[in-house]
Amino acid sequence: MMAKQDDPHSFTVMVERMQDYEFRVQFDKDKFAELIMDEPPPIGHDMGPNATRVLAASIGNCLSASLMFCLQRSKLEVETLQAEVSPRVARNEDGRWRVEHVDVKIMIKTKEEDLKRFQRCVDIFENYCIVTSSIRQGISVDVTIHQKK
């Protein structure tokens, strides 16, 4: 299913092989800078992050943005915010590598007098993170292969 032009929640990301396991990722028809992705050695050359790293970044970004949204709506000032995301990759029962768990540590600095209102955001922000909530439920992915002629 292709993205609808007028829907801000619908988009298409293009992934194109450059060489070996190095891929160029283009977002929204060149609206944003391209991203180069690659696999680490021994199969790739580490020219960019691999998919697991991009997944970790997506989780960290979405959680951070969701928390910031709540804090800003609550008119709380944030001095600093950082997220440290650590996926644990292990072999499953079939011997294939999978992300089996993700630890996220968010470090934030706010004013001491805002702690009560801050706690309200801490209690609810995860519910608004599209990426983390989707991953927790499992994501259905349909794959089709089209042979170019």
Indicate the domain borders of the chain: 13-129
13 DSSP β-pair partners: 27
- pTM for the structure as a whole: 0.87
Kindly state the tokens that stand for 125. Answer: 């922000």
pLDDT of residue 19: 96
Residue 90 in tokens: 């292990």
Nearest to 47 by CA among 19, 22, 14: 22
Cα–Cα distance measured from residue 115 to residue 87, given in angstroms and rounded to the nearest whole number: 29
Token pair belonging to 15: 């992934």
pLDDT tens, per residue, the chain with 149 residues:
555 556 778 889 999 999 999 999 999 877 889 999 999 999 999 999 999 999 999 999 999 999 999 999 999 989 899 999 999 999 999 999 999 999 999 999 887 777 778 888 999 999 999 999 999 998 777 877 676 76
The architecture of the domain spanning 13-129 is 2-Layer Sandwich (3.30)
